[in-house]
């Protein structure tokens, strides 16, 4: 790594050791025609992506001691399109689960959605208005395990019904693993999700709210997905949807959770942004 003053989002040597093998394998599978090994260190590309995700800065406002924005963009987009972003995330997620004595893939997932405002410049064709939550933008759907780790993510227009997002999530979960047997959802999901779950071999249970309760009340097991959404509000790039393509928005979720998982695996903490 080139000599520079470190940022709080930089991966430590210990964290980079967990990511580097995937990057090395990727580079081996994508050799340059000219045999050139690349001008920029892959660790610095990853550092730049984590910095941008945490701070929310625009591409052109990345600090000058990172690789040029064009180079960082190139790897963000190519890793988004070939699934390397999810591969890195999933391999690390499996390690977290195994570290806690669980199997690599879960048997239970929890589904939920979150609507967020879209930033100016986001194409109107991929956004909409969530009438119930009065949010104009996009809807994020998550499937998480009992630890709150992301199993699948789907981003759609905020106007999309929870059923459509839930069905897409079930399809992704079923495509990625055959271990999931059950999914918990809230009452925003209707019978269409339950029926589709039967088609893909996942039993969907609608967790009904106690009518005697008022305000927000954490529901057993289902609360882990609420916590996951709370964690995703810490990276400023995810406070709004700034991405032109929904797939880019999904990639941002994977990178944000990758940073969280790396901290869990190494037992490290990230210094607070505010000091006393």
DSSP string, 80-131: HHHTHHHHHHHHHHHHHHHHTT--SS-SEEEEEEEEEEBPTTS-GGG-EEET
Task: Check if the beta carbon of residue 250 is closer than 8 Å to that of residue 153.
Answer: yes
Which pLDDT score is estimated for 217? 58
From 276, 274, 275, 268, select the one nearest 10 (Cα to Cα). 268
Which pLDDT score is estimated for 197? 97
Arch. (CATH architecture) of 104-241: 2-Layer Sandwich (3.30)
Q: Cα separation of 236 and 241, whole Å?
A: 10
Which pLDDT score is estimated for 35? 61
Which pLDDT score is estimated for 51? 98
From 153, 124, 142, select the one nearest 244 (Cα to Cα). 124
Residue ranges for the chain with pLDDT beneath 50:
1-2, 276
Q: Cα separation of 7 and 37, whole Å?
A: 26
Q: Can you name the residues that pair with 204 across neighbouring β-strands? A: 183
Q: Can you name the residues that pair with 150 across neighbouring β-strands? A: 144
Q: Cα separation of 271 and 257, whole Å?
A: 17
Which pLDDT score is estimated for 37? 66
Q: What residues have CB less than 8 Å from 13, skipping those under 6 apart?
A: none
Angle (CA) 258-261-264 rounded to 5° is 155
From 218, 146, 149, 224, select the one nearest 182 (Cα to Cα). 146
Which pLDDT score is estimated for 269? 65
From 84, 86, 66, 88, select the one nearest 75 (Cα to Cα). 84
For tokens 């759907």, what's the residue?
Answer: 141
Query: How far does Cα 69 stand from its chain's mean position?
Result: 22
Q: Cα separation of 78 and 85, whole Å?
A: 9
Which pLDDT score is estimated for 83? 97
């Amino acid at each position: 790594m080139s000599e520079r003053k470190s940022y709080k989002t930089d991966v430590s040597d210990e964290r980079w050791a967990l990511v580097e093998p995937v990057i090395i394998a990727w580079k081996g599978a994508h050799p340059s025609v000219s045999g050139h090994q690349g001008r920029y260190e892959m660790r610095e590309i990853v550092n730049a992506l984590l910095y941008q995700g945490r701070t929310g800065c625009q591409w052109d406002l990345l600090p000058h001691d990172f690789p040029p924005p064009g180079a960082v963009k190139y790897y963000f987009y190519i890793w988004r399109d070939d699934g390397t972003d999810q591969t890195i995330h999933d391999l690390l997620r499996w390690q977290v689960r195994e570290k806690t004595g669980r199997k690599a893939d879960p048997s239970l997932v929890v589904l939920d959605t979150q609507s967020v405002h879209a930033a100016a410049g986001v194409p109107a064709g991929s956004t909409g208005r969530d009438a119930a939550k009065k949010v104009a933008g996009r809807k994020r759907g998550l499937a998480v395990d009992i630890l709150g780790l992301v199993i699948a993510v789907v981003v759609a227009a905020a106007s999309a019904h929870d059923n459509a997002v839930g069905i897409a999530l079930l399809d992704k979960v079923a495509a990625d693993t055959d271990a999931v047997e059950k999914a918990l959802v809230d009452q925003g999901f209707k019978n269409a999700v339950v029926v589709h779950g039967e088609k893909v071999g996942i039993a969907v249970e609608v967790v009904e709210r106690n009518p005697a309760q008022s305000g927000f009340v954490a529901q057993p097991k289902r609360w882990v997905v609420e916590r996951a959404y709370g964690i995703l509000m810490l990276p400023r790039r995810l406070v709004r949807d700034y991405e032109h393509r929904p797939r880019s928005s999904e990639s941002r979720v994977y990178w944000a959770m990758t940073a969280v998982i790396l901290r869990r695996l190494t037992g490290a903490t990230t210094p607070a942004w505010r000091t006393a």
